[in-house]
Chains A and B, each alone.
Chain A
Amino acid sequence: MTPILEVVDLIAGYGRIEALHGIDMRVEQGEAVTTIGANGAGKTTLLKTIAGLIRPRRGRISLEGENVTSWSAERRARAGIALVPEGRQVFPDLSVRDNLLLGAYGRRRQSGITEDIDKVVALFPILGERGQQLAGTLSGGQQQMLAIGRALMSRPKVLLLDEPSLGLAPLAVREVVDKLVALAEAGSTLVLVEQNAAAAFRVAARGYVLDRGEVVVEGSIETLREDPRVHSAYLGKLG
């Protein structure tokens, strides 16, 4: 079966700095995959390159078997790649509802949008209560939910999430992770990037460990848990 998302030998970076040195990755339909890695490992670079915000120097990115490597970020968004960016990046001076509406901007048909907003609100009730409020006035956890809701509004084929737990209070992390578990159980295809391995392992069934721009371990969550490198680097310090 063709995977939803396939990354082959991806090399990307910034100017002269190379941040990814040949990444391979496969994500099947309905799968929840995680990529964990320390600060500066290249997680954000990987997701931005998949989403089209960074042009790779080499390698291929395919969506459902179609080579999208030369496509713009806008075109990839329309084709079904949605990224919940690092630091949430909601549109601060627009209302919560307008942020959600813009999530559906790239949809060819604007029908079914009210229904989809209802679905997002069912998942994140706070977004319904705060619909008319400016997104910039929400708390960090609420903004994270809005960023996820906005991405869902495009009805993505694959949802990429860049450290959604970053900077959130423990209670908010828990709430966000619970929602991601629910999304995964409902059959959404997810790629969750995290430094918080414990949180990531609750959501994903399979994972990659990224270190200095390279995949050093990959496999089922059980495999990752048992790997000594993962254990000492990511789980050890969490107790």
Chain B
Amino acid sequence: MSDNLQFIVTGLATGSVYALVGLGIVLVHQVTGIINFAQGEFVMVGALTFALLNEKGLGLVPAALSALAITVVVGVLVERLAIAPARKSTIERLIILTIGASIAIQGITLVVIGTSPHFASAFTAGAPYRIGGVVILRQYLWVFAVTALAVVTLWYFLTRTLTGKAMRAAAMNRDAARLVAVSPSRMSLLAFVLAALLGAIGGIVLAPLQAPSAGIGIALGLKGFTAAVLGGLNSPTGAVAGGLLIGVIESVAAGYLPSGYKDAIAFGILFLVLLIRPNGLLRRASSVRV
């Protein structure tokens, strides 16, 4: 029993990162209609930058801030170089462009940084907590707290600030938004910036748990996508729930299966979800539900 509890706690920690990835995918999808397959690369860039700087002796806060900044720059570049110029073409083509962007980001990272993983130290040193046989790493608590904070901040932004409401308005009705001087193109850029931030945050909290390398983005992106699809692709809360669920299922199943099957589990879930509810995937969404 305590074995299972242990798997659940571990799964919730990685699931939090999937939740952040899923949240970024939902946000961009809602505002632009695009499924951003480069979302996992945002996590990779954030995690790798953070770990590299941390290895070089930079403190937690400056390393994290630098990782956030660099990931946002990558997000802006993806939107301005790949998405914005092709804005008038089909959604399918834009989605392919995000896959291209994802490959490009990974390729550039490989050239600049190489294939080897980098190690970040946990945010706070110290022995893990033990509660009734369950080991809770201090970093898990950071993961939970930071994820919760990011989710609440995003919710606040979307529902309580004028810019957030303008962003949702642009998602609901592009032309009507333009008529009140809200620029859908700027909102698309903003969505990518926020998605990059969410990805980087996920990467930063994840880095001390799993030493990141240039290749981790694909699996993370697909798992975040699975989380988003599980949640219905238009629900931020659904994406968070989906991410946590995938993390837990993966972790519990991995406890009983050979470790090589770990990724296969998430993709099995994705396969099932797409099989059961394939509709609505490429539909242009009408609004951000919160």
Contact = CB atoms under 8 A, between A and B. Distances in A.
A154 B176 CA distance: 13
B4 interface: no
A94 B173 CA distance: 12
A53 B178 contact: yes
A89 interface: yes
A179 B70 CA distance: 53
Given A91-B169, A93-B172, A94-B172, A73 B179 contact: yes
Nearest to A53: B175
A contact residues, range: 20 to 34
Contacts of B288: 93
Given A91-B173, A105-B162, A85 B181 contact: no
A53 B175 CA distance: 7
Interface residues of B, number: 19
B178 A150 contact: no
Contacts of B179: 51, 53, 73, 77, 82-83, 85, 151
Interface stretch (A95-103, A120-128, A203-211): A95-103
Contact of A74 (B165, B176, B181): B181
Contacts of A154: 180-181
B172 A106 contact: no
Nearest to A98: B165
Given A101-B162, A101-B165, A102-B166, A92 B287 contact: yes
B168 interface: yes
B277 interface: no
Contacts of B180: 77, 102-103, 105-106, 150, 154
A85 B175 contact: yes
Given A73-B179, A74-B178, A77-B178, A94 B169 contact: yes
A52 B169 CA distance: 18
Given A102-B165, A102-B182, A105-B162, A92 B172 contact: yes
A143 B4 CA distance: 54
Interface of B: 162, 165-166, 168-169, 172-173, 175-183, 287-289
Interface of A: 51-53, 72-75, 77-78, 82-83, 85, 89-94, 98, 101-103, 105-106, 110, 150-151, 154
Given A91-B169, A93-B288, A105-B182, 15 more contacts: A75-B181, A77-B181, A85-B179, A89-B176, A91-B173, A92-B172, A93-B289, A94-B168, A94-B172, A102-B162, A102-B180, A102-B182, A103-B180, A110-B162, A154-B181
